[in-house]
Structure 1
């Protein structure tokens, strides 16, 4: 195991986030979005996410929501990349790339 703490970075393709939100958003019914956000957001992050979601009916025009979601995703991915050389692979959370 490598004990060097690395630097992680992640670039998020915004249209992919928009597509994810549009696919799983049903006005007034957030069950599908809860299932998706449970995979990579804490309850505090989800609370902010749903507050931003309630500002408009259209997810693709809600720039704050899109940027927030992309930022949370990129932050967590970059941390996992940075820590992957330091933390044993079996102690890392499962990969969630399949949701996109």
Structure 2
């Protein structure tokens, strides 16, 4: 059974949203300011890291790490500038 989970965080003035779709082939989709900038699939519940760039001057490289299971998925924003992981809270639609 496929199920969608949404996460969101604002970082350096940019909106970062993640959709994690669970099921037979899990999918992780990352949007920055409403535009798709990262996408990954996997065949099991292992954590997935998706590298993306924020449209700053110069561009800022960050990564989103999605832990798909067991249980409810979780997401972290891994910012290279400050080295601290930021928990992405779930977003209800």
Give TM-score, length-normalised by structure 2. 0.29
Structure 1 or 2: more helix by fraction:
1
Answer with 1 or 2: which has the greater Rg.
1
Which protein, 1 or 2, shows the higher relative CO under an 8 Å CA cutoff with sep ≥ 6? Answer: 1
Structure 1 or 2: more strand by fraction:
2
